[in-house]
Structure 1
Amino acid sequence: MTGPENPPSFRLAYVPGATPGKWVRIWEERLPDVPLSLLPVAAAEAPDVLRAGEADAGIVRLPVDRTVFSAIPLYTETSVVVVPKDHLLTAADEVTVEDLADDVVFHPLDDVLDWERPPGKPAVERPATTADAIELVAAGVGVLVVPQSLARLHHRKDLTYRTVTDAPQSGVALSWPEDAHTDLVEDFIGIVRGRTANSTRGRRTEDRAEAGKQKQAAARRKPAPSKAASAKGGRPRTGGGAKGTGKGGGTRGKPRRRS
């Protein structure tokens, strides 16, 4: 139960390459009393983190298990090949998968691209992580195809990248467990979708909380009985007191004049 000792908070998981900074800033402006904490997670670990309740929502890589999670697609990333700056592929602005046929193309264990068949020549051993693969590319051993955000995340002065026009692409989505669609999740959905602070569906949590308090207070207050009802010991009867103007006249005023 949330109370003064346990104020509300929101936990957002995010995978490598995701940049939730803009949404976090909007959250802090709109809900200053609800702290938002960021939880970096590996792409493959994100579903387990959400399922275990370690985060309220997450910016994840698609696909997700739609029998367990709800998801709002945010964007689809361009795929690029990361190469040394003196590599032959840098002569073009864009390349194709076929252009990688003569290169060793690393396929790390945390790869997020859904290859039907990875391009190029296979490495002797798959790198454990994208970061490890980047180190091998810098050593001139091979090349690596990743979403553009990961190429930027692992930027090095001795490396560059080029768009691969026909490579698989990676989609990014906001996701949360279907059975954990809370008010705070709805608030974050509103921010991601660009709703204004005054939007009905994206209204601030504190406004809802205040409205709830007012509703509870109103329910506790009983309406005061009328003077007539108090004198009679209950609510005035209807029907029988139409002619009376004295003690039994109830709450009626003076009789109408007959024309």
Structure 2
Amino acid sequence: MDLDLRKLRYFVAVAERLHFGQAALALHVTQPALSRQVRQLERDLGVELFNRASRNVTLTDAGEHFLDDARALLAAGQAVQDRVRRIAAGEHTMTVGFMLGTDVAAAVNVFSARHPNVPLELIRLRWWNQKRPLLDRTVDIGFVRLPIDAEGLKVLPLYRERLSVVLPSDHPLAGEPAIGITALAGESILRYADATPDWAAVWNAEPPPDDTQPPRGPAFHDMEELLGYIRAGRGVVLIPDPVAALFPRPDIAYVPVTDVPPGRVALAWDDTRHSSLVTDFVEAARSTLKLAE
């Protein structure tokens, strides 16, 4: 199924106002036409996005989650349109994707110093869609976390990151300076939502050294959900230390895990691209980051 961006725009307008009439006015369409398009989107997805049982319109659980994704898709679509228009007008741009906590600043600064007249944009990548923005030209090059399906891509390993387990601050292991992965035996493991099996094997340390099957915790989509589950005692999970550093909290502990392989950050770009700007950005990254062996 191909998602229609117009239907997404209609859905977001209603979801943000929780009123079909107000959304129709904002979109300059009739309310019946708007309602038909939203109903068709629900049929396309096979889920109901709104509760319409009362005079008040509310989002279903599926609608709540879909709203964030719809906003991201619309923003990506707009970014592609803007980019194409700038290219057609002869304006060169550079769009760099990044995973949360990756070290982009040094390479960006060196590149921008070399190309002061080239606008540079940063776009957030997620673990479940690191590759797609590289191939659909939403981004020119991206700081990704491995593993990634490298088919159609050039991938340059950059550096490694220590992993820590995220625990509630009252957990018995929270005060330890470091632990081994076996110390987490029996803990429920939170899952990266929509992750590939290769990603889960690395970031959930699957299978564990003793080949036991730990209880499966809830799946999370972002750090806010992750921290909510941790505080509620619903499970634990491994994350890179640079990500942990962005979310210091008195009720959360990050404990290094000594016997799991470190995370790996790489640069990735479309193998069919022949862009001097991409080449220059790769060289900027090489000159500023210590490459992994």
**Does structure 1 retain, via aligned residues, the 8 Å contact 2:130–2:148?**
no
Alignment of 1:1-259 (within 5 A): 5-109=89-193, 112=199, 114=202, 115-117=205-207, 121-123=214-216, 125-194=218-287
Instruction: Tell me how far 1:76 sits from its aligned partner.
Output: 1.5
- TM-score after normalising by structure 1: 0.67
Q: Percent identity?
A: 29
> CA offsets, 1:208-245, max 9 Å, x none?
xxxxxxxxxxxxxxxxxxxxxxxxxxxxxxxxxxxxxx
CA apart distance, 1:40: 0.8
Distance 1:169 1:131 in 2: 23
> Which region of structure 1 is more displaced relative to structure 2, 150-159 or 69-78?
150-159
Change (3 A) 1:126 1:21: same
CA pair 165-110 structure 1, distance change in 2 beyond 3 A: farther
Contact 1:104–1:120 (CA<8 Å) still a contact in 2?
no
Gap regions ≥5 residues in structure 1: 196-259
**Structure 2 regions of 5+ residues with no counterpart?**
1-83, 289-293
Deviations 1:47-85 (A, max 9, x none): 011111111111111233333111111112111111122
SS in 2 for 1:99: helix
TM-score normalised by length of structure 2: 0.60
Q: Deviations over 1:22-43 (max 9, x none)?
A: 2222222221111111111212
Q: CA deviation at 1:183?
A: 0.3
Q: 1:7 to 1:128 in 2, by over 3 A?
A: closer
| Distance change >3 Å, CA 106–CA 4, structure 1 → 2 | closer
Residue 31 of structure 1 aligns to which amino acid in structure 2? H
Give the aligned residue type for 1:147: P
Kindly name which structure, 1 or 2, has the bigger radius of gyration based on alpha carbons. 1
Amino acid paired to 1:58: G
Local SS of the residue matching 2:112? helix
**Considering only aligned residues, what root-mean-square deviation do their CA atoms show, in Å?**
2.6
**Aligned pair count?**
195
Rounded Cα–Cα distance in structure 2 between residues aligned with 1:90 and 1:27: 41
